[in-house]
A and B are shown apart, each in its own frame.
Chain A
Amino acid sequence: MTALLLAGTALLSGGCAVANSAGGDAGSTDGRTLRVVLTQEPPTLEPCEASLTSTGVVVRSNITEPLVERDPVSGDLDPLLATGWKQTTPRTWTFDTRGGVTFQNGEPFTAEDAAFSIERAVNSDLACNVEGYVFGDDDLKVKTSGDNRLTVTTAEPDPILPLRLSFVEIVPRTTDTKAKVRIPIGTGPYAVRDWQPGAAISLNRYDDYWGKAPDFPRARYVWRSDASVRAAMIDKGEAEIAVALDPMEAEKDTTVAYPNNETTALRLDGREAPLDDRRVRRAIDMAVDRDGIIDALLGGLAEPAAQLVPPGVVGHNERIKPTRQDVTGARALVREAKADGVPTGRTITLVARNGMFSGVSETAEALQYQMQRIGLNVKVRMADTATHLQYQLRPLPENVGPIALLMMHGNQAGDTAFTTSQYLLSEGPQSTFGSKDLDRRVAEAGALSGDKRQKAFADLLARQNRTVVQYTHIAHMNGLLGLSRSIRYEPNSATGDELRLSEVGQATAARR
């Protein structure tokens, strides 16, 4: 027994040593540290991977900054490290960069750094995610003149190049070009002080920041994968901000719902019977009870969807209304298809991803039931991220039968071109089929700007619903943020991907 107690004392003292050495946790309230609890640890803070949500939510506009940024509310482009920009020829844009800005290592920011950052993120062999999601296959030509003038030339006319460049975070030209960096240096209001793997990331306010100094001198990120623990940390006063809470927390006065630009939909693989029949695809669209799913399974925190982009995104079509559930009409369409020899009894696999959103498995089961009600044969397969990606991305898996993929698309860029290039083109990376007519319209709309661009994209979204029917749109989602009463912060549609710490202030009166 004595030996046991001695062993216990040794274990406990050793344990406390490890616990304390892990040191980076939410920590105690000191009023000077802004504590944020995320869903997972960022795999990296590499700026060229900032289009990944788990990386971008820490890096973007906190540690590093782009040349321009999109106002998530108005949709306008605001100057950041560029003070102005203009299209000088159809393929050329010129940017004037901001003077008097320094990186967190003390080096001055110049147009050379901007050119270097674009080369590194878009033209290099680093295979950055921002390259894949935002830029096409063509490289950009970048040139500087003097310290503050940058010229970017595209292979084809690109009316939204400044918007695309809002995804390129600017790093100093001394940054590694052969390998991705884990901890970045930027011009943002906060610099990385410490990253304790598995425990916390700590930031310090950058005192020489060119803009308005943020309220909090320090910030600390921790991560808890369980939503109820994240909510409990707000209730207990262990964190000021908690992301991605469950709808069941929505009634609390410490939570705020916000539209997060994510849209859920069923992507129907039109290459395989019975989904190769448009009547069957339309019947599925008519079978879905969007209001029921939103009320019962999504906590009311969503809006019925009729297209892949939510309001506020250039190209969103306000005239398209969500399809009303019509089980009788849907059954008639399936019967008609069956009478014409379509094998409507063939099993359709509804593939969904665990953890895609709160209530995803119940939503998949509800969709299965609603599709079976109209005479289709459906089985559900819940998959992990890697397996779901195999179904989502080209090359699509072969010999797996007809697939209805429950997916969630987030258009954070604010322009439908980023959606159509992926999801609507016949050979789009995340599309199963399409039509030549739609392909042509996507290309034409992409070359337009202003009101013509808005109308062209809105029209082709409506046309998708009429002629192709690859998607059964379900809901435009809302996120739920936990906010301590000690701070004031207004979340917006970009919050899930870009939580700007400099916009968080100490509460002086009622928060909202």
Chain B
Amino acid sequence: MFPFLRKRIVSSAIPLVFVVLGVFFLARLTGNPVDLYLPLSATPEQRAEFSADQGFDLSIPAQLWNYLVDAAHLDFGTSLRTGESAGGMVLDAFPVTLQLAGVTMLLAVTGAVLVGSLAAYRPNSLVDRVASLLSMTAASIPDFWFAIMGVLVFGVGLGLLPTSGTLGGPEIWILPVATLLIRPFGVLVQVVRGSMVTALSAPYVKIARSKGAAPRRVIFGHALRNAVTPVLTVAGDLTVGLVNGAVIVETIFGWPGIGKLMIDSILQRDFAVLQAAVLLTAVTIFALNILVDVCHALTDPRVRQAVPA
């Protein structure tokens, strides 16, 4: 197990370094943000002072060195836009996105396993056809359209849910999570179904059925365990997408998450916040990938054995 983990950590860390360096350089290609933050009549001296205060007057390698040294001390600098600690702003925003992503994936995986397994148990049955139709529809609906329609129908029309915001009980989660949920749910139902159809036709399942095992035991006790690997892979990718920022949901529903923060930082050339946000999300995605790999290895011994010590 440990050689496997070591290899996966090394191979996942390389893209992490490229992402962090890439964002650093690409952000600076967009120009000096002095025009956005100083008044039109700012004197050359004021512009120079602003650049010096923010370290923009240094060479790019020197800026990179300072960034890496400061980041090693968990000092990500100060936001140009708000004057607050960039690290603090990112740490405030990230839990919001993590919770949205966590709740969404939990519901998506649970629902997809149930619906996908039922559909696969009797292929081409009415249940299978309805599940396939609904899952394909769900996977195809644009999330911004679904979000706006949700606000208009359930918020304004029926008056059942708040339109947006973060204050209140469980009801405030329904529209944002439903918007985030719909696509992963649709994709995962199809993956679970396909994977389960293969597993349910395997000889060991036929033997279990012939021995009179109950359908629930056949599905969840025998077939699902062997069908879970592709589901884990796809669920991992979908979770990475959500952790990267549920921008549409955060924008429409006013949730102050990491995706909205990153977009605002890009538009405002707020380099310190952008770099801190990208570093944190990259590290989180790195950890998520390792977690998914570990789950693979735990559920499928062939994965562990494929890695030489």
Partner of A228, one of B151, B166, B169: B151
Contact mask for chain A residues 112-133; partner B; CB cutoff 8 A; 1 contact, 0 none: 0000000000000101111111
Cα of A393 to Cα of B41 in the assembled complex, Å: 11
Q: B201 near A: Cβ within 8 Å? A: no
Task: Determine whether the beta carbon of B155 is less than 8 Å from that of A197.
Answer: no
User: How many Å from the CB of B26 to the closest CB on chain A?
Assistant: 14
Which residues on the A side are within 8 Å of B124 (C-beta)?
Answer: none
Q: A363 near B: Cβ within 8 Å? A: no
Binds A, one of B16-24, B102-110, B301-309: B102-110
Q: A8 near B: Cβ within 8 Å? A: yes
Contact (A136, B41) CB under 8 Å given A11-B106, A229-B163, A232-B163: yes
Question: Considering only CB atoms, which chain B residue lies closest to A135 in the complex?
Answer: B41
Task: Determine whether the beta carbon of B110 is less than 8 Å from that of A4.
Answer: yes
Which residues on the A side are within 8 Å of B173 (C-beta)?
Answer: 12, 15-16, 19
Contact (A236, B156) CB under 8 Å given A4-B109, A133-B40: yes
Which residues on the B side are within 8 Å of A389 (C-beta)?
Answer: 35-36
Partner of A197, one of B148, B170, B256: B256
Partner of B151, one of A131, A133, A232, A387: A232
Binds B, one of A22-30, A102-110, A463-471, A497-505: A22-30
Task: Determine whether the beta carbon of B46 is less than 8 Å from that of A224.
Answer: no
Task: Determine whether the beta carbon of B156 is less than 8 Å from that of A226.
Answer: no
Q: B81 near A: Cβ within 8 Å? A: yes
Q: A430 near B: Cβ within 8 Å? A: yes
Which residues on the B side are within 8 Å of A198 (C-beta)?
Answer: 92-93, 96, 256
Q: A223 near B: Cβ within 8 Å? A: yes
Contact mask for chain A residues 130-171; partner B; CB cutoff 8 A; 1 contact, 0 none: 111101110000000000000000000000000000000000
Q: B4 near A: Cβ within 8 Å? A: no
Task: Determine whether the beta carbon of B40 is less than 8 Å from that of A422.
Answer: yes
Q: B284 near A: Cβ within 8 Å? A: no
Task: Determine whether the beta carbon of A11 is less than 8 Å from that of B102.
Answer: yes
Cα of A462 to Cα of B40 in the assembled complex, Å: 26
Q: A225 near B: Cβ within 8 Å? A: yes
Cα of A305 to Cα of B111 in the assembled complex, Å: 57
Task: Determine whether the beta carbon of B40 is less than 8 Å from that of A224.
Answer: no
Contact (A15, B103) CB under 8 Å given A22-B166, A132-B40, A198-B92: yes
Residues facing B in A222-279 (CB within 8 A) are 222-226, 228-229, 232-233, 235-236, 238
Task: Determine whether the beta carbon of A137 is less than 8 Å from that of B43.
Answer: yes
Residues facing A in B10-43 (CB within 8 A) are 30-31, 33, 35-36, 38-43
User: How many Å from the CB of A1 to the closest CB on chain B?
Assistant: 8
Q: A199 near B: Cβ within 8 Å? A: yes
Which residues on the B side are within 8 Å of A127 (C-beta)?
Answer: 38-39, 42, 46, 50
Contact (A429, B36) CB under 8 Å given A25-B165, A226-B251, A226-B252: no
Partner of B82, one of A44, A384, A430: A44
Contact (A386, B31) CB under 8 Å given A12-B170, A15-B173, A22-B166: yes
Residues facing A in B237-275 (CB within 8 A) are 251-254, 256, 266-269
Which residues on the B side are within 8 Å of A53 (C-beta)?
Answer: none
User: How many Å from the CB of A25 to the closest CB on chain B?
Assistant: 3
Task: Determine whether the beta carbon of B163 is less than 8 Å from that of A238.
Answer: yes
Question: Considering only CB atoms, which chain B residue lies closest to A238 in the complex?
Answer: B163
User: How many Å from the CB of A425 to the closest CB on chain B?
Assistant: 12
Partner of A27, one of B106, B110, B167, B169: B167
Cα of A386 to Cα of B267 in the assembled complex, Å: 7
Cα of A26 to Cα of B155 in the assembled complex, Å: 14
Q: A7 near B: Cβ within 8 Å? A: yes
Q: B3 near A: Cβ within 8 Å? A: no
Contact (A26, B165) CB under 8 Å given A18-B96, A198-B92: yes
Question: Considering only CB atoms, which chain A residue lies closest to B49 in the complex?
Answer: A125
Contact mask for chain B residues 44-55; partner A; CB cutoff 8 A; 1 contact, 0 none: 001001100000
Task: Determine whether the beta carbon of A225 is less than 8 Å from that of B251.
Answer: yes
Which residues on the A side are within 8 Å of B156 (C-beta)?
Answer: 232, 235-236
Q: A20 near B: Cβ within 8 Å? A: yes
Most buried by A among B33, B38, B96, B151: B151
Cα of A67 to Cα of B99 in the assembled complex, Å: 48
Which residues on the A side are within 8 Å of B89 (C-beta)?
Answer: 197
Partner of B83, one of A14, A182, A199, A236: A182
Task: Determine whether the beta carbon of B40 is less than 8 Å from that of A393.
Answer: yes
Contact (A18, B99) CB under 8 Å given A7-B106, A27-B167: yes
Contact mask for chain B residues 151-166; partner A; CB cutoff 8 A; 1 contact, 0 none: 1100110010011111
**Category for how many chain A residues contact B:** 35 or more
Question: Considering only CB atoms, which chain B residue lies closest to A8 in the complex?
Answer: B106
User: How many Å from the CB of B215 to the closest CB on chain A?
Assistant: 16
Which residues on the B side are within 8 Å of A23 (C-beta)?
Answer: 167
Task: Determine whether the beta carbon of B36 is less than 8 Å from that of A131.
Answer: no
Question: Considering only CB atoms, which chain B residue lies closest to A10 in the complex?
Answer: B102
User: How many Å from the CB of B117 to the closest CB on chain A?
Assistant: 12
Q: B172 near A: Cβ within 8 Å? A: yes
Contact mask for chain A residues 67-92; partner B; CB cutoff 8 A; 1 contact, 0 none: 00000000000000000000000000
Which residues on the A side are within 8 Å of B162 (C-beta)?
Answer: 236, 238
Which residues on the A side are within 8 Å of B166 (C-beta)?
Answer: 18-19, 22, 25, 199
Residues facing B in A16-73 (CB within 8 A) are 16, 18-20, 22-27, 43-44
Q: A390 near B: Cβ within 8 Å? A: yes
Task: Determine whether the beta carbon of A14 is less than 8 Å from that of B254.
Answer: no
Contact (A236, B163) CB under 8 Å given A44-B82, A127-B50, A430-B40: yes
Q: A218 near B: Cβ within 8 Å? A: no
Partner of B99, one of A11, A26, A197, A232: A11
User: How many Å from the CB of A299 to the closest CB on chain B?
Assistant: 18
Cα of A475 to Cα of B33 in the assembled complex, Å: 30
Task: Determine whether the beta carbon of B155 is less than 8 Å from that of A232.
Answer: yes
Cα of A126 to Cα of B94 in the assembled complex, Å: 32
Cα of A174 to Cα of B137 in the assembled complex, Å: 62
Which residues on the B side are within 8 Å of A473 (C-beta)?
Answer: none
Which residues on the B side are within 8 Å of A435 (C-beta)?
Answer: none
Contact mask for chain B residues 166-193; partner A; CB cutoff 8 A; 1 contact, 0 none: 1111101100000000000000000000
Cα of A429 to Cα of B49 in the assembled complex, Å: 20
Interface pairs (25), CB distance under 8 Å: A8-B107, A8-B110, A12-B173, A15-B102, A15-B103, A18-B95, A18-B99, A19-B172, A22-B166, A23-B167, A43-B268, A125-B46, A127-B46, A132-B40, A136-B41, A182-B82, A229-B148, A233-B164, A236-B159, A238-B162, A384-B266, A386-B30, A386-B31, A393-B35, A422-B40
**Supplied contacts A198-B92, A430-B40, 13 more A-B pairs, CB within 8 Å:** A11-B99, A11-B102, A11-B103, A12-B173, A16-B169, A18-B95, A19-B166, A20-B168, A26-B165, A131-B39, A136-B41, A229-B163, A384-B267
- Taking beta carbons and an 8 Å cutoff, which residues of A are in contact with B? 1, 4, 7-8, 11-12, 14-16, 18-20, 22-27, 43-44, 125, 127-133, 135-137, 179-180, 182, 197-199, 222-226, 228-229, 232-233, 235-236, 238, 384-387, 389-390, 393, 422, 429-430
Q: Which 10 A-B pairs have the closest CB atoms?
A: A132-B39, A198-B256, A25-B167, A25-B165, A22-B166, A132-B41, A15-B99, A132-B40, A429-B40, A232-B163
